[in-house]
């Protein structure tokens, strides 16, 4: 995947997107009379989480709510974040207590942003293509075993995505008077080809739709909250090229990004009652599943 970055100036777009999101969040908090400092830490790039926690400790911060950019349950999308937070806290003297905000796949702020984006993308299709279009809901593929153990009872990753898909399809129907068919597909598979991952791949799905005579697609990236590499390469570059070669008109709905409802969601999550912590058997790491 490293070579993909050379197509976009040799750098990831995500840090610039994070800065834009933080600016919007600070504005939302300030506009609602909430005086809270906002910090930003990455797992794999500067500013690193450990360095951010050290700065917070130096600033006298003793407790913080943590928003992560994964809306769904799975080891990599939830528990691993918790482990990273705990590891960083253990490395910093006087680190604040960190409380991870809950999953937000079903929060109205996230859903409102994605419904608006889907409606806008549908409007961008040519009139003759729009009515028969398919909605293609895309998220990051994970090993099937990871979905099997996602959430407290398993298979929460796919179930939560299907819940989002169903709600968007229904709300688009209410807005347009037309029920668009929707399908959940996956992208960004990696790792050993011998390990089963969630399917179908988006490009295979586009080929299937074209064979069936589908007139157009709207790709809705419900698994991603900003236009990072999995979006700008896997969808805007690779999938769009496949659609073009198939003669399949394609529009890509925006990610939640800095949509006001999505930004407002952070404040609303912080105002919710503190959720029950995840249990020890929720979203276990791969090594535990294989034991």
Please give the pLDDT value at position 12. Answer: 64
| Dist CA 181 CA 200 (whole Å) | 16
* Mean pLDDT score of the chain: 92
By three-state DSSP, how is residue 251 classified?
A: strand
Give residues with Cβ within 8 angstroms of 287, minimum separation 6.
Answer: none
Element spanning 54, H or E: helix 49-58
Give residues with Cβ within 8 angstroms of 41, minimum separation 6.
Answer: 47, 48, 49, 50, 51, 52, 53, 88
pLDDT tens for 171-220 read 999 999 999 999 999 999 887 888 999 999 999 999 999 999 989 999 99
For tokens 């800095």, what's the residue?
Answer: 258
Strand partners, 250: 217
Please give the pLDDT value at position 287. Answer: 63
Q: What is the mean pLDDT of residues 154-170?
A: 98
| Dist CA 61 CA 20 (whole Å) | 23
Q: What is the mean pLDDT of residues 56-82?
A: 96
* Structural domains present in the chain: 2-104+260-289 (3.40.50.1400), 108-252 (3.40.50.1400)
User: How confident is residue 158, by pLDDT bands cut at 50, 70 and 90?
Assistant: very high
Q: What is the mean pLDDT of residues 167-172?
A: 98
Q: Note if the pTM is more than 0.85.
A: yes
Please give the pLDDT value at position 49. Answer: 96
């Amino acid at each position: 995947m490293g070579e993909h970055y050379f197509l976009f100036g040799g750098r990831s777009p995500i840090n610039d997107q994070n800065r834009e999101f933080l600016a919007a969040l600070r504005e939302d908090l300030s506009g609602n009379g909430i005086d809270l400092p906002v910090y930003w830490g990455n797992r794999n790039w500067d500013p690193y989480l450990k360095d951010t926690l050290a700065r917070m400790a130096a600033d006298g911060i003793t407790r913080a709510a943590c928003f992560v950019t994964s809306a769904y349950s799975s080891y990599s999308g939830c528990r691993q974040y918790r482990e990273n937070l705990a590891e960083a806290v253990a490395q910093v003297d006087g680190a604040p207590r960190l409380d991870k905000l809950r999953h937000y796949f079903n929060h109205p702020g996230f859903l409102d942003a994605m419904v608006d984006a889907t409606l806008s993308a549908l409007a961008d299709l040519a009139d003759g293509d729009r009515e028969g279009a398919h909605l293609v809901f895309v998220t990051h593929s994970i090993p099937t075993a990871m979905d099997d153990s996602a959430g407290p009872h398993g298979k929460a990753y796919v179930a939560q995505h299907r819940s989002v898909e169903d709600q968007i399809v229904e709300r688009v129907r209410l807005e347009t008077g037309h029920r668009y068919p929707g399908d959940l597909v996956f992208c960004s598979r990696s790792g050993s080809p011998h390990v089963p991952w969630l399917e179908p791949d988006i490009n295979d799905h586009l080929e299937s739709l074209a064979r069936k005579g589908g007139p157009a697609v709207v790709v809705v990236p419900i698994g991603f909250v900003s236009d990072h590499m999995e979006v700008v390469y896997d969808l805007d570059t690779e999938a769009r090229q496949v659609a073009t070669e198939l003669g399949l008109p394609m529009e890509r709905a925006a990610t939640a990004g800095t949509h006001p409802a999505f930004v407002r969601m952070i404040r609303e999550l912080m105002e919710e009652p503190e959720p029950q912590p995840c249990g020890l058997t929720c979203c276990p790491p791969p090594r535990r599943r294989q034991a």
